[in-house]
Amino acid sequence: DATDFVVAMLDAHPDSAVQASTDGEFPLHAACAAASSETITPVLNMAKLVAKAKWRGALPLHLVLQGCAELQAVTDVLLEYSAAVKEADHDGHYPLHYACQAPTANILMSQIGFMLKTFPGAAHRLNRHGDYALHVAMRHYHVTHAADLVEKLVHEYPDAVKHALPGEPLPLYRALDQHMPRKVVHALATAYPPALATQHYMSVFPLPLHRAIAESAPEEMVLHLLELAPDTAKVPVAGGTALHLAIIKHSSARVVKRIVELDKEAAKMKHGGTNKRALSLALEHRAPPAVVVAVVEAYPHAVDWALSGGNNIILKGLRDEIDAVSLGAMLEAFPDGAKQADTDGRLPLHVALEHGCKSDVVAVLLKAFPGAAAVPTPEGRLPKDIVLDRGVDREVTDAVFSALHSGA
């Protein structure tokens, strides 16, 4: 194969390893540029001094890293001329920049650590694009060991987290956008706390908190961001508040509760895109009961607020298969809601029975207004007639008849 051929040629003509082409290219440069891992080491062994020679402004170390050769070949070139880590190539890239974009596990943390130990200032250097090694590592986050690498680079040069290229977000925002682990987010946020409140104007989700919620980041991640920068819960986003966004993106009850605690006015405000308050959004998006309860407790008046068409939100919730816990919280905030008919004259109990609500929902309505069992629909049908006609489950039927007899 090609490797055997190269080795045979070197054995036959050992001087060829130290002979350059007319433009200064040595065989080692060619092997490194081609990422020919099998031939790099034998060529290097026969021409060690070439490790210090540049071709078109690049050292063999630049070429071998840029070409993403195998680990052993990279290590051999690095150890042969370790001072190369202090030199930039013609594009202004230092070896550390290339190492941070290796697409596989070729460059291990030990090699990165060696580079930083040999040249502590490497993490401080910008390439010609204005990137620190940190930015390169984050832009190529698919690499193996990326989380450890980013964390290490933040430790080596914390000031890098303050910088971003024009039109690009700060590293903290990018970390959330790329679903990086909490330890990376924490390292970036603590290295530069103002980043938590720095808005990325190229996105509809301007703050790191907003991006985390929008990307459905883990609950602990969002709570951690709220802990680090509680005031960000009050910053508007996408035509609404962080509370609206959290509900729309199905954030956990703990996240919603924490946002409500930090922004007590959010539950009163309408979302610009939908013209709905948090409670309406929670019901529309089938939020868990704990979320609905938290929103109701934050702004109980939302329950008795008339919706378009004159109906209240309890009636709408019943048509959307509301759960018993959510309904109970809403009726606790607005007890008369069980007695308030829709524009057609139907009570909540009528609506619940006609829409096949579960027995525990019917029980909540009857507890709030037992007399509803004796109130007919506009068509003159009693609740007992509805359950008999619809063939609902036994528990619902028993509850309606029990309430009717109690009233009698």
* 102 phi, psi to nearest 5 deg: -60, 130
In total, the chain counts a number of residues equal to: 408
What is the Cα–Cα distance from 236 to 271, expressed in whole angstroms?
10
Once rounded to an integer, what is the mean pLDDT over residues 48-63?
A: 95
Mutual orientation of helices 253-262 and 219-228 as an angle, nearest 10°?
A: 20
What's the pLDDT at 407?
Answer: 59
Query: What is the average pLDDT score of the chain?
Result: 90
What's the pLDDT at 408?
Answer: 45
- Separation in Å, CA 8 to CA 13, 43, 123: 8, 11, 41
Residue with tokens 């055997």: 4
**Domain boundaries, given as residue ranges, for the chain:** 304-408
Least confident of 113-127, 246-260, 380-394: 380-394
- Identify which of 347, 394, 391, 334 has the alpha carbon closest to the alpha carbon of residue 373: 347
pLDDT above 80 (res 143): no
Q: What is the pLDDT of residues 327-351, one digit of tens each?
A: 999 999 999 999 999 989 999 999 9
What's the pLDDT at 37?
Answer: 76
The encoded tokens of residue 277 equal: 């308050």
pLDDT above 90 (res 247): yes
- Assigned CATH topology for domain 304-408: 1.25.40
pLDDT above 80 (res 377): yes
pLDDT above 70 (res 5): no
For the four alpha carbons of 325, 328, 334 and 336, in that order, the dihedral sign comes to positive
Q: What is the pLDDT of residues 126-140, one digit of tens each?
A: 998 899 999 999 888
The pLDDT > 70 percentage for the chain reads: 93
Q: Are 46 and 16 in contact (CB under 8 A)?
A: no
pLDDT above 70 (res 316): yes
Residues ≥6 apart with Cβ < 8 Å to 59:
51, 52, 53, 81, 84, 87, 89
